[in-house]
Amino acid sequence: MKDSESNETWGRRPTWAEVDLDALAANYQMVRSRVAPDVSVMTVVKANAYGHGAVECARRLAREGADWFGVAMPEEGINLRRAGIKQPVLCLGGFWDGQAEACIKYDLVPVVYHLDMAASLDRAARAAGVVRDVHVKIDTGMGRLGVRCDAAREFAARLADLKNIRVDGVMTHFAAADEPDKNQFTEEQIKHFGEALEMFRACGHRPTLTDLANSAGIVAHPGGWGNLVRPGGVLYGLWRDILPPLDDLPAFRPVMSLHTRITLLKRVPQGETLGYGRTFRAERETLVATLPIGYHDGYLRALSNRGRVIVRGTVAPIVGRVSMDLTLADVTDVPGVVVGERVTLFGEQGGRAISVEDVAQTACTLSYEVTCGISDRVPRIYTPGELSDRA
């Protein structure tokens, strides 16, 4: 390849997501103001910050004062370190075989929940001549990862034999903090966590951090704050379908919006069918817009014949099946529509709005899945900072 060819600039498909970092910062500050001053905040940026871009979001949250970052696995933590993030990083899912050395090299704090994992980190730390912190996860009722409460004493005693790791934190995860009719279960989780914590202390461990509350726990169960909370979805303005219905809920701001442009307009006669499986039949002469976005981009196939978009401030329905790369919309009732028109799939345009939660409800899923599913081939445009030439 010639040097001149390597510097060529190509146009891009007109489909993009906008990420409002000011909204992210405002949401973080709302969480910060809700918890007590002596409670630290771990901002969860796993799954590429719920699809919003982990590095860019972490950099802004660091400037806002985030105390910790939460990731799912060491690979995500390493990406943050390579991007210059200095705050403590907790690997919520622990680590895999062979990754203990990476946790030490990149100064990542793993969650541990079985002895083999703890022992492998202890060996790696001893070989490196260091003592490394871990957080122990207690399973108080979620049933996924964690040491069962009835095994906590034995686990704590066995950990005490490992001299190159230190239990700096003990944590759990709420199963139903967003459901008021299950508050008793959440309170039982808090109680069982406290009992397990005392077992660790009785075995000589002196954890400085206690971590229970996810987004829903932060707003609905202040008794479960401990001294470190870990907001996730609310940071990204995803809250209507994950927080319990309380009178004093903060008005979190949506952070991501999704857009494309019309690439083709065609008139379809009454009675003609559209798309795979011919699932849409025009009941009138219909003006159909082809949109260059599909389910590989994360616009869910479940939105076929059900979703809505905004064009020139008018809500227009999705027609036919969403395919891998393309989607069709009925824009018959959109005055003055032309090829190249901006289309908002979720977000605000012209005084109308479609929220991520609206999209999720239509697709019978959760808002988290919608944003996490926006694929890498959809470029993220960050504001303020990176100005979009697509606006």
Residue 91: pLDDT above 70? yes
- CA dist 145 → 140, 154, 240, 310, 361 (Å): 10, 17, 27, 42, 28
Residue 149: pLDDT above 90? yes
* Least-confidence region, from 4-8, 76-80, 317-321: 4-8
Residue 387: pLDDT above 70? no
Give CA–CA dist 234/50, Å, rounded. Answer: 11
pLDDT recorded at residue 391 = 44
pLDDT recorded at residue 4 = 44
Reduced to 3 states, what is the DSSP secondary structure of residue 246? coil
pLDDT recorded at residue 9 = 62
Question: In the predicted model, what is the mean pLDDT of residues 374-380?
Answer: 97
**Residues tagged active-site:** 46, 276
CB-based contact 112:93 (threshold 8 Å): no
Task: Name 107's Cβ contacts closer than 8 Å, sequence gap at least 6.
Answer: 81, 89
Question: In the predicted model, what is the mean pLDDT of residues 296-310?
Answer: 98
Bond before 244 cis per omega within 30 degrees: no
CA 45 to chain centre: 6
- Kindly state the tokens that stand for 232: 């996730």
Question: In the predicted model, what is the mean pLDDT of residues 57-76?
Answer: 98
Residue 346: pLDDT above 80? yes
- Kindly state the tokens that stand for 178: 């967003």
* CATH fold group of domain 256-383: Lyase, Ornithine Decarboxylase; Chain A, domain 1 (2.40.37)
Exposed e or buried b for every residue in 305-322, given b needs 16+ CB within 10 A?
eebbbbbbebbbbbbbbb
Give the architecture-level CATH label for domain 35-236.
Alpha-Beta Barrel (3.20)
Of the candidates 40, 84, 90, the one whose C-alpha atom is nearest the C-alpha of residue 66 is: 40
pLDDT recorded at residue 2 = 45
Domain ranges, ordered by start, for the chain? 35-236, 256-383
Question: In the predicted model, what is the mean pLDDT of residues 258-281?
Answer: 98
pLDDT recorded at residue 8 = 66
pLDDT recorded at residue 97 = 95
Q: What percent of the chain has pLDDT over 90?
A: 93
Give CA–CA dist 224/213, Å, rounded. Answer: 6
Q: What percent of the chain has pLDDT over 70?
A: 96
Residue 346's DSSP bridge partners are: 258
pLDDT recorded at residue 250 = 85
pLDDT recorded at residue 11 = 81
Residue 384: pLDDT above 90? no
Chain-wide mean pLDDT for the chain? 95
Helix, strand, coil % (nearest 5) of the chain? Answer: 35, 25, 40
pLDDT grade for 249, boundaries at 50, 70 and 90: confident
